[in-house]
Amino acid sequence: RVCTRELCTQQESEGSPAAEEKTLSWRSLVLTGYGGYDKIKLQVKTQSKPQLKAGEVLLRVKACGLNFAELLGRQGLYDQLPNPPVTMGMEGAGVIEAVGEDVKDRKVGDRVIALSRSGMWQEVVVVSADRVFPMPEEMSFEEGAALLINYLTAYLMLFEMANVKPGKSVLIHMAAGGVGIAATQLCQTVQDVTVFGTASASKHETISQGGVTHPIDYRTKDYVEEIRKISPNGVDIVLDPLGGSDTQKGFNLLKPMGMLIVFGAANCVTGQKKNLLAMAKTWYNQLSLSTLKLMQANKAVSGFHLGNITDEQLITRTMDKLVELYRQGKIKPHIDSSYHFEEVAEAMRRMHERLNIGKVILLPEPKKEEEKPKSNAEPGENVEQKEATEEVKAEKD
């Protein structure tokens, strides 16, 4: 059931104290259908307080991460996301408000990071205790929400798959994005690793300071030629979130014994809505290889999809390592910007247009009226009430 905050307040005031205690109202970002930014609605939901099953915790979310997978999901291109209507979001940080039976190592009041296939873009969420990880005291909620998916992805690719070693070279596409910055920082934990990073020229100073040895402007230069000028034999590892013709280029850039890891298809997303031509072009230009060719070239091709990893122990071990690296000051999430739930369209647009340097964060907390809106909404417009009222009207109709 969805209602406006005023309606919820009125109903709760008329109910008994016991009913009030068992009822929760919270804000949630819901994908109502596939398409543009307008398909994500901010709703206020009210229902009975969740009855936790064994092994579950109730989390009050303070910050959420925005990932490229959500851009794909909004267009119906991400198979891990359930069909609409669905609350989006795969990662967040917050405070535990309740724990179910058999939860031994988490307690009420713990500051934690949480991972889920979907459902994290809301103020209150029930998650499995296995996918909840303690935060260091010095870590902010924004940093917690920025750590999980980007750094898990980068770490598992570099150390579990590619086995990066001292003296190796790595090509990181979208080096100013969340995974790109995470991978660059993690490369700095290994001696003498050379990092080639593609990004627009305005981001080169930032990524150079972050550890990219050779920044390359992919918009004005051929990154293959630029890499060959510096390293005629190519590179040892290529991290490819692009797909299509860039995968073929990456494979050709590999040195013998090198590894290409494909973990995305960003080239498919060229506009706010699904672009069938871009999808067809990416599909047509995808890398096609035989095992014989791999053998003759002495090269390896791997695929990585964090959503398909079901080994909870691997995830937990890796998170423990990442938290320790954070405590040591060797990694630190770079927060590009933070947007309240009301501004989710602006947040998505920023990532879609590749304007961000680092992580884009969503904040469940309502935006204060005195804050200048970042969106195109008129100052003082109550997006929360507007969207929720529309949903109630639709239900009545």
298 and 219 housed in the same domain: yes
| Residues in the chain, total | 397
Q: Which of 255, 288, 303 is the last residue of a domain?
A: 303
- Please give the full DSSP string across 156-207, using - where no structure is assigned: IIIIIIS---TT-EEEESSTTSHHHHHHHHHHTTSTT-EEEEE--GGGHHHH
Strand partners, 61: 94
First to last CA, the chain: 14
Q: What is the CATH number of the domain that holds 134?
A: 3.90.180.10
Domain end call among 303, 318, 348: 303
Q: How many independent structural domains does the chain possess? A: 2
Q: What is the pLDDT of residue 276?
A: 56
DSSP string, 109-165: T-EEEEE-SS--SBSEEEEEGGGEEEPPTT--HHHHHHHHHHHHHHHIIIIIIS---
Q: Whose CA is closest to 122, among 100, 90, 144, 146?
A: 90
What is the four-CA torsion angle of 275, 281, 284, 288, rounded to 10 degrees? -100
Residues 128 and 39 in one domain: yes
Q: Please count the other Cβ atoms lying within 10 Å of the Cβ belonging to residue 244.
A: 21
Task: Classify burial at 2, counting beta carbons within 10 Å of its beta carbon; exposed 0-12, middle 13-18, buried 19 or more.
Answer: buried
Which residues, other chains included, contact 364 with Cβ-Cβ below 8 Å and sequence gap of 6+? 26, 27, 61, 62, 63, 64, 121, 122, 123, 341
Q: Are residues 30 and 117 in the same domain?
A: yes
Q: Are residues 103 and 191 located together in one domain of the fold?
A: no
Same domain, 215 and 293: yes
151 found inside a domain: no
Q: What's the gap between Cα 396 and its chain centre?
A: 35
Asked if residue 379 is part of any domain, the answer here is no
* Any domain includes 380: no
Q: Is residue 397 part of a domain?
A: no
CA Rg value for the chain = 22
pLDDT in tens, the chain (397 residues): 344 333 344 444 444 444 445 788 899 999 999 998 999 999 998 888 888 999 999 999 999 999 988 988 898 877 788 889 999 999 999 999 999 999 999 999 999 999 998 999 999 999 999 999 999 999 999 999 999 999 999 999 999 999 999 999 999 999 999 999 999 999 999 999 999 999 999 999 999 999 999 999 999 999 999 999 999 999 999 999 998 889 999 999 999 999 999 998 665 555 556 555 555 655 556 677 888 989 999 999 999 999 899 999 999 999 999 999 999 999 999 999 999 999 999 999 999 888 999 999 999 999 887 655 444 333 333 333 333 333 433 333 3
Pairing of strands 124-128, 111-115: unpaired
Say whether both 257 and 352 belong to one domain.
no
Distance between CA atoms of residues 207 and 201, nearest Å: 10
Contact call for residues 171 and 233 (beta carbons, < 8 A): no
Measured between alpha carbons, how far is 371 from 367 in angstroms, rounded to an integer? 7
How far apart are alpha carbons 32 and 83 in whole angstroms? Answer: 9
CA distances from 300 to 246, 256, 303 (A): 16, 9, 10
Compute the C-alpha angle 265/83/347, nearest 5°.
55
Reduce the DSSP state of residue 42 to 3 states and report it. Answer: strand
Q: How far apart are CA 11 and CA 298, in angstroms?
A: 68
Residues 101 and 178 reside in one and the same domain: no
Query: Would residue 72 count as lying in a domain?
Result: yes
Do 29 and 135 fall within a single domain? yes
Beta bridge partners of 26: 45
User: CA 170, CA 193: separation in Å to the nearest integer?
Assistant: 7
CATH of the domain at 288: 3.40.50.720
- 141 and 166 in a common domain: no
Same domain, 278 and 340: no
Q: Using the 8-state DSSP alphabet, how is residue 2 labeled?
A: B
Among 253, 288, 303, the domain-final residue is: 303
Structure token digits, residue 388: 């929720």
| CA-to-CA separations, 375 to 33, 282, 342, 345, 378, in angstroms, rounded | 21, 32, 8, 8, 8
Whether residues 46 and 117 share a domain: the answer is yes
Q: What is the pLDDT of residue 78?
A: 79
What single DSSP character describes residue 267?
G
Residues 295 and 189 placed together within one structural domain of the fold: yes
The domain in which residue 122 lies consists of: 24-145+332-363
Could you tell me if 65 and 90 are in contact, meaning their C-beta atoms sit under 8 angstroms apart?
yes
What pLDDT sits at residue 386? 39
Position 11 scores a pLDDT of 42
Two structure tokens written together for 307? 């959503």
> Does the residue 35 lie in any domain?
yes
3-state SS assignment for residue 291: helix
For the beta sheet containing 214-216, the strands, ordered from the edge strand earlier in sequence to the opposite edge, are: 214-216, 194-198, 169-172, 235-240, 254-262, 300-303
**41 in a structural domain:** yes
Asked if residue 225 is part of any domain, the answer here is yes
Place of tokens 């550890």: 211
